[in-house]
Structure 1
Amino acid sequence: MALMITDDCINCDVCEPECPNEAISPGEEIYIIDPNKCTECVGHYDEPQCQQVCPVDCIPLDPDKVETEEELMTKYYKLTGNTPA
């Protein structure tokens, strides 16, 4: 499941540099997450880094982008060029 940024975002800029997949970028009003790049940090970290640094807790799972751990790992491999061990 990809993550999303809600309207509670205060544009503090802390989430964007934490994303290992460069899935977070400034939108017209708030930061946005590209669901095609978001792996919830699967393959990189144990927990989504953007959620860890967000001071207002505005980065929940996107209920419209449901993905399994396996699907997230496959996306990680495609984005990074890494191959399964």
Structure 2
Amino acid sequence: MEHCVFLLWPDTGEPNQPLIDYLKIHKKAGDKLILWTCRSGVILDKALSWCKEIAKLEFDAVNDNSNMPRPSQLYRQ
């Protein structure tokens, strides 16, 4: 599993720029990004702020995918 930063739990470490670039390409192509994390509260807020302000990366959902279409909904004929 890749991480947007090299982990220094609960802090963020150095950016994993190749992964950040990859995620931005897919986001721009229309893919949905979901952040699954064990963080909560203040440390989750800090991580999301870092992603938005430093990495310029925003997620469509955090620890939840209930608002995403199911694959069966996407490929119905």
**TM-score, normalised by the number of residues in structure 1:** 0.29
Task: Choose 1 or 2 for highest CA Rg.
Answer: 2
Of structures 1 and 2, the one with the larger relative CO (CA 8 A, separation 6+) is 1
More helix by share: 2
TM-score computed with the length of structure 2 as normaliser = 0.30
